[in-house]
Amino acid sequence: MFSAHPEPTVDVRRSHAGLTSSSFDDRMASATIRRLLAKEHVFCEGDKRDHVFYVEEGVIAVYKTLPDGRRQIIDFAYPGDLIGLGVLGEHVLSAQATATSRVKCLSAATLERIAETDARLALKLYKSVCHELAATRSLLVTVGQRSAIERVAAFLVRLHRRTGVEESSTINLAMRRSDIADLLGLTIETVSRTLTKLRTMGAIEIEQGGTRVHLRDLGRLLELANE
């Protein structure tokens, strides 16, 4: 199912979930690497859940396909994140690369066996699942209660918190406007207009090409996001 490509050993100890178990590190060192092009799927809803995936590079959109064919992006996964966690035998969501990406493929059964005897790993997997749950709850509030400008401002603030360097106010939008729209429950046109409005307000500056955003007034963004 996956093609292996020899890669140098990487330091996988830094992640928002804090995965530092030695057993986990051992598995990571020998894990199969999969490279993905933009729009290529890591897995699809209904696929057998044989593997858990560690994002090393790029951005992965995790989404649900609605009955009418539309998609609702639940969250974006960034380097250091695990995707494909769960207790069911099949994936209940789909995962698609938004840009050139690279993931490590870990046997779900093996990872779960390690967690049975490694309390640190079990706790860290629990924290990773809690992060997913928190993101889902936040999405419900964002889509159900907030205006377009509040949604986009909140997205930029959270993206900065998750991927930005603390001393830097520049973030990379490694996803299409349509991906952001499918996360926030907006149209592509509304996302583009709202970004333009935020730029006119002096809250952000969008570099040529539209993939790098400078947060000129983080305080203003926080105010608009109600955070």
Separation CA 45–CA 168 (nearest Å):
37
Element (H, E) at 20: none
Q: Where are the domains of the chain?
A: 22-142, 146-225
The answer to whether the CB of 154 falls within 8 A of the CB of 203 is no
Class of domain 22-142: mainly beta
Token pair 């207009």: residue = 193
Would you identify the CATH topology of the domain 146-225? Arc Repressor Mutant, subunit A (1.10.10)
Per-residue pLDDT of the chain (227 residues; tens, 9 = 90+): 433 333 433 333 333 444 444 566 777 788 899 999 999 999 999 999 999 999 999 999 999 999 998 899 999 999 989 999 888 899 999 999 999 999 999 899 888 888 888 888 788 788 878 777 777 777 766 666 689 999 999 999 989 988 766 667 889 899 999 999 999 999 999 999 999 999 999 999 998 788 899 999 999 999 998 86
Q: How many CB atoms lie within 10 A of CB 99?
A: 19
Non-local (6+) Cβ contacts of 121 within 8 A are: 19, 21, 23, 24, 111, 114, 115
Q: What is the pLDDT of residue 118?
A: 82
- Token code pair at residue 55: 């994002």
